[in-house]
Amino acid sequence: MTRYAAPSIKTRLVPLLLAMGASMAMSVHAQSLTDLYTAARGYDATFRAAKMQFDATMAKADQAQAAVLPTVGFNTTVSRTSQEVQPLPERAYGTQSGTINASQPLYRPANWAGYEQGKKQVDLAQAQLLQAEQDLIVRVSQAYFDVLASADSLTFVKSQKTAVAEQLASAKRNFEVGTSTITDSREAQAKFDLVVAQELAAENDLRVKSIALNQLVGQQNANPKPLLAPVVLQAVEPADAEQWVVQSQDNHPGIKQLGVALDVATLETTKARAGHMPTLDLTGSYTAVNNNGSSTGAADSRVNVATLGLSLNVPLFAGFAIQNRIKETLALEEKARADLEASKRTVAQGTRTAFFGVQSGQAQVKALEAAEASTQSALDANKLGYQVGVRINIDVLNSQSQLYDTKAKLAKARYDVLVGGLKLRQAAGTLKADDLQPINAQLAK
């Protein structure tokens, strides 16, 4: 069996002082939640793609206006003719002409329905961008607190390792003087080896979580600020799940997008029905022709022609294409209505789930805070019992493990409540960047 030598005070203090110095140096460059969110807005590819989609959709909305505005075109023609009639000499003459054509729709129901559809694209673009922004807020917050939770776990594991090492050294000393059995030493050694394995796993988990945060915000060494102690979690306001559901039905960007889709489908039916209706356009043209001679003479001439008129088109029969198109659009309209209703139900369910999740998380935090105090008392009692001989070494080791496990779970539960509050606002559709400020205020300065 490998013997374990208890570390001296100097051996234990030097790494601790170095770690404290490194921690203080890192805290100088630590970033708050809003700092990293701002960085992610300019770096995250998903959010940048959403912004480009917003610009494209806005431009597409402006395109729909062209169908109700006048169109103007210009064309010109230049020709040169060479004529030879025997026995007369060869003659050449030319023609230059230019025409301006203009048209203004006066009555085109389909065009106006298309124009209204284009204006709906503005609402769609805004809802899509809002959804992308809310998603980015939650992703950054989740990654931020994942790193903090992983760092806390590693800290607790290291603390447990130190405590187990001291207990192992004590068990070995007691065995050497004959006041304890070899079983205590072996149990402490097994516990120490297990904690070392847990430390390696915690270090790797922190490394992975840090890489994920770095990739999200576009920084090499993102260093989140920890929460200030004591941590005070705010109660959920309003405290009624149904009030959150009402907000979600009015504000959720997913519902807004499907509401726009229903409006567009309804206008598509209007366009289809317009296939039975006549169209009326105001048309006008102006043509100027300049002749440098002609086939019958050498005299120059100029002709100017202006035309103004109305163009009426009355559909009579299109092979039942219009009737079947109307059937298609009506079915798609009902589908859009059903999709909207399904989305409302899904959002309502998700909002209730998020609300009760936050409430449950807050209750878990209170329970774990009580458990932390209880496990600390139990550890103190076991240490005292071990010293007086009424407890064995494994009792102390188990109490230590339970205490640090409770601390890690408590820290994770607090982070889950903070992120859960943001997810609740996302489910209700009210999440915005300002909602990060209350959390930011609870971070270390």
Element (H, E) at 102: strand 91-107
* Contact of 319 with 105, CB cutoff 8 Å: no
What tokens does 358 get?
A: 């936050």
Tell whether 96 is covered by a domain: yes
Provide DSSP, 359-414: HHHHHHHHHHHHHHHHHHHHHHHHHHHHHHTSS-HHHHHHHHHHHHHHHHHHHHHH
Residue with tokens 């899509």: 128
- CA 39 to CA 214: how far, in whole Å? 10
Answer yes or no: do 152 and 290 share one domain.
no
Residue with tokens 């990293």: 36
Answer yes or no: do 301 and 326 share one domain.
no
pTM, two decimals, is 0.82
Tell whether 23 is covered by a domain: no
Q: How many domains does the chain have?
A: 2
Tell whether 147 is covered by a domain: yes
Answer yes or no: do 265 and 368 share one domain.
yes
- Residue 445: predicted pLDDT: 80
Tell whether 382 is covered by a domain: yes
Answer yes or no: do 94 and 239 share one domain.
no
- CA 156 to CA 163: how far, in whole Å? 10
Residue 96: which CATH number? 2.20.200
Question: Among 314, 330, 364, which residue terminates a domain?
Answer: 314
Tell whether 285 is covered by a domain: yes
The 10 Å Cβ neighbour count of residue 105 is 18
> What is the extent of the structural domain holding 81?
71-107+278-314
- Residue 61: predicted pLDDT: 84
Tell whether 11 is covered by a domain: no
**Amino acid, res. 426:** Q
Question: Among 314, 341, 372, which residue terminates a domain?
Answer: 314
Answer yes or no: do 187 and 289 share one domain.
no
Residue 222: which CATH number? 1.20.1600.10
Question: Helix or strand or coil: residue 436?
Answer: helix
Answer yes or no: do 192 and 208 share one domain.
yes
Q: How many separate helices (H) and strands (E) can be counted in the chain? A: 10, 4
Tell whether 82 is covered by a domain: yes
Q: Degrees (nearest 5) of the Cα angle 69, 66, 271?
A: 100
Q: Nearest CA to 216 among 138, 270, 154, 283?
A: 138
Answer yes or no: do 261 and 374 share one domain.
yes
- β partners of residue 96: 78, 290
* Contact of 414 with 233, CB cutoff 8 Å: yes
Answer yes or no: do 301 and 266 share one domain.
no
- CA 195 to CA 413: how far, in whole Å? 22
Q: In what order do the strands lie in the sheet with 91-107?
A: 71-83, 91-107, 279-292, 301-313
Answer yes or no: do 284 and 356 share one domain.
no
Question: Helix or strand or coil: residue 305?
Answer: strand
Q: Nearest CA to 19 among 140, 127, 161?
A: 161
Answer yes or no: do 82 and 125 share one domain.
no
- Residue 298: predicted pLDDT: 67
- Residue 295: predicted pLDDT: 62
Q: Going residue by residue through the chain (445 aa), what tens digit of pLDDT does each one get? A: 334 444 443 344 444 433 444 444 444 478 999 999 999 999 999 999 999 999 998 888 888 888 899 999 999 999 888 877 667 667 777 889 999 999 999 999 999 999 999 999 999 999 999 999 999 999 999 999 999 999 999 999 999 898 888 888 888 887 888 767 788 888 889 989 999 999 999 999 999 999 999 999 999 889 999 998 888 888 888 999 999 999 999 999 999 999 999 999 999 999 999 999 999 999 999 999 998 876 666 678 889 999 999 999 999 998 999 999 999 999 999 999 999 999 999 999 999 999 999 999 999 999 999 999 999 999 999 889 878 877 777 788 888 889 999 999 999 999 999 999 999 999 999 999 999 999 999 998 8
What tokens does 156 get?
A: 């607790």
Tell whether 260 is covered by a domain: yes
